[in-house]
Structure 1
Amino acid sequence: MTGNLQVLGFGALAIDDIIYVDSPLGAGKGKVTNRTKDHGGNVATALVAVAKLGGRAGFIGWLSDQPLTDVGAHELERHGVDISFAPRRSDAKPIRSVITVAPDGDRFIAYDDDVPHGTSDALADSVLAQAQVLLIDGYAMHADMIVARARKLGLAVVADIEWTVGPATERLIRLSNHLVLPLKFAQTYTGEAKATAILRKLWSDDRSAVVLTEGDRGAYIRQKDDVVLWHVPAYKVRAVDTTGAGDCFHGAYAFALTQGKQPVACAVYATAAAAISVTGRGGRMALPDHNACVAWMAKENAPVPIPITSPD
């Protein structure tokens, strides 16, 4: 599959062994009620979400140079993600994760990430320039020059960062003009507790948007050229499995950007997509299509953006 793409991304692939238990995660022990296996990885699942929504997505992270046995790559292709521009190396392999999911959909992820991260510095500008958006996660610190080149080429860089290793992470945060971060990480990173204070602290003149996600409490947004901060409440759903919900949010947000939507509207769309994604098992099994998102957004009880306060 080749051709003009809308959203590119790089990050490690993952194979997830998922165990469902009958007790809360803090109970200490519980009975296994079900097991399943799914494929994951923050950026990889976000790109699958883009493809499911009808976008043209391409994975440009490291893949194995043994394509016949590269299960993760086959899964991306099966879901409609272009892998033709991905660099290859002999030691590329997926992260292996074990995920425990409680009855309320909450989960704990244990993973081994001793795998190649980032992408090749030799990736051509012509590959990057065909897209409108670049999706990255915290491992992009291993290829920050690619991120910098993408910004110079005019791509929107949507960053999904969940932890910091110091200066390398700070450089990524500076390079990304759409920070879409979990609120808990942003609190730790900035030392601020309130979403409004974090939105102000992470802002810069080079930023297009800062989005803070808080699961079933929704998302908080500051967008360029807007004097108002916004809160997008979450949908009220019975969560089966929250695995991959954040990845789905990032993918839907990126896809909405390619449709010319402003960040608050992107967050509204992504909130609907993420809500649908938690109603099924695994990180990819319940990813929605565009029509499903539109239908949810049209419901009478669909959450709408709420002004919080002036950013100044």
Structure 2
Amino acid sequence: MSDTRLDIIAIGNAIVDVIAQADDAFIAAEGVAKGSMRLIDTEIATSLYGRMGPGLEASGGSAANTVAGAAALGARCGFIGQVAQDQLGEVFAHDIRALGVHFDTPVREAEPPTARCLILVTPDGQRTMNTYLGASQFLPAAALDRDLIASAAILYLEGYLWDPAEPRAAMRAAIETAKGAGRKVAFTLSDTFCIERHRGDFNALIANGDVDILFANETEILSLNESDDFEAAVAATAAKVPTLVVTRSEKGAIAIQEGARAEVPAEPIAAIVDTTGAGDLFAAGFLAGQAQGRSLTDSLTMGAVAAAEVISHFGARPVADIKALVTAKLG
């Protein structure tokens, strides 16, 4: 769109990831399901961090990872998220700005500290996330740059941030601003625990026409519809949103846009090292493709290429030149 300052502006948790390897026994001892995400308090965060192996620290957060990937693919991106006035807050801000993403959310001077996610990666590449939300759950509507939101072609929201009341109100205000400016709103369901807690809200957003592009994985689309029939769940949701994107891990991904369906296989990789950020980077590729005016199939392929790159190494952000990988694949 010629009258846009940004292609994508995202609102999400501003988190610093700490990623460490762990075996299945360590995960079991924690009493958490492997491959899941749980919210933890300050006490658990401190205890778990002390028992983890050597870690890799990198700025993360679901929606932040998505705009980081989209920026790497050439999209003009911005991010809104709350950090505290502390060292991790400075790390987060530096990292995202260094990627060319616009970020100017005012820092929070009070407690709690900047959010962090303690990620345990097992030898099979599965990641188990233990998230301390910290300052990120106190993003107020007053911190929104409404002019910037109105200037972006797509507003992208993460379901993870729907849990706390203050950022939920901020995201509702952002949707109103984007819709008032005639922009599209994209929403990712994030995790089944988010759906279990907020299924009513999510379905209401969809029914009210507040979501133009919905991202889900296979288990999430089933949970949203309280169904065990994948195709029935897809059909039910696709009838309510202009664009539905569903990722299916090694089975690839599908998208249905205004009744037209496209499917792509997963991109082959030598080995899965760490699945952290796979869905985030898939969304990055798809949204960047849509911003470039590419076809539904090409946008899905861009998502698959970006996701394959990020699961081939530790960390939730690209290491290789994903723009070059997409060019090699699609031209």
- TM-score when normalising by structure 1: 0.82
Match in the other structure for 1:177: 212
Shift of 1:215: 1.6
What residue in structure 1 maps to residue 258 of structure 2?
A: 224
CA contact (8 A) 1:273 1:288 kept: no
Task: Tell whether the 8 Å contact from 2:306 to 2:318 is kept in structure 1 after alignment.
Answer: no
Q: 2:154 aligned with 1:133, yes or no?
A: yes
Counterpart among 141, 163, 178 of residue 121 in structure 1: 141
Distance 1:34 1:288, change over 3 A: farther
- The AA in structure 1 aligned to 2:227 is E
Map of 1:155-234 to 2, 5 A cutoff? 155-161=183-189, 162=191, 163-164=194-195, 165-166=197-198, 167-174=200-207, 175-204=210-239, 207-226=241-260, 229-234=261-266
Counterpart for residue 21 of structure 2: 20
CA distance in 2, matches of 1:63, 1:130: 23
Aligned-CA RMSD value: 2.9
Deviation for aligned residue 1:168: 3.0
* Inter-CA distance 24–296: structure 2 relative to 1 (3 Å threshold): farther
Q: Secondary structure at the match of 2:55?
A: strand
- Asked if 1:100 is matched to 2:120, the reply is yes
CA distance, structure 2, for counterparts of residue 269 and residue 13 of structure 1: 25
Question: TM-score, length-normalised on structure 2?
Answer: 0.78
C-alpha distance after superposition, 1:28-68 (max 9, x if no partner): 69xx9863222210001111111111221111233446799
Q: 1:47 to 1:118 in 2, by over 3 A?
A: farther
Q: Mind listing any 5+ residue stretches in structure 1 that lack a counterpart?
A: 299-312
| Corresponding letter in the other structure for 2:203 | E
- What runs of 5+ residues in structure 2 fail to find an aligned partner? 31-51, 163-167
Question: Residues 5 and 276 of structure 1: is their aligned pair in 2 closer, same or farther, counting only changes over 3 Å?
Answer: same
* 2:49 matched residue in structure 1: none
Structure with the larger helix share: 2
Indicate yes or no: 2:323 matched with 1:290: yes
**Is residue 175 of structure 2 the alignment partner of residue 147 of structure 1?**
yes
Code of the aligned partner of 1:36: L
Higher deviation after alignment, 75-84 or 279-288: 279-288
Q: Is the 8 A contact 2:72 2:99 kept in 1?
A: yes
In the TM superposition, residue 87 of structure 1 has moved relative to its aligned partner by 4.2
- Answering whether residue 114 of structure 2 is matched by residue 79 of structure 1, we say no
Q: Secondary structure at the match of 2:6?
A: coil
In structure 2, relative to structure 1, the CA distance for the partners of 1:260 and 1:68 (3 Å cut) is same
The percentage of counterpart residues that share the same residue type is: 24
Q: Output the CA distance in 2 between the equivalents of 1:275 and 1:155.
A: 30
CA distance in 2, matches of 1:103, 1:286: 20
Query: Post-superposition shift, 1:90?
Result: 2.5
Report the 3-state secondary structure (helix = DSSP H, G, I; strand = E; otherwise coil) of the residue aligned with 1:149. helix
Structure 1 residues 295 and 93: CA distance shift in structure 2, 3 A? farther
1:70 corresponds in structure 2 to 90
Q: Please tell me whether the aligned partners of residues 190 and 198 of structure 1 are also in contact (alpha carbons under 8 angstroms).
A: yes
Distance in 2, matches of 1:295 and 1:252, equals 14
Superimposed CA distance per residue, residues 214-246 of structure 1 (whole angstroms, 9 cap, x where no aligned partner): 2222112211142xx333211222111111111
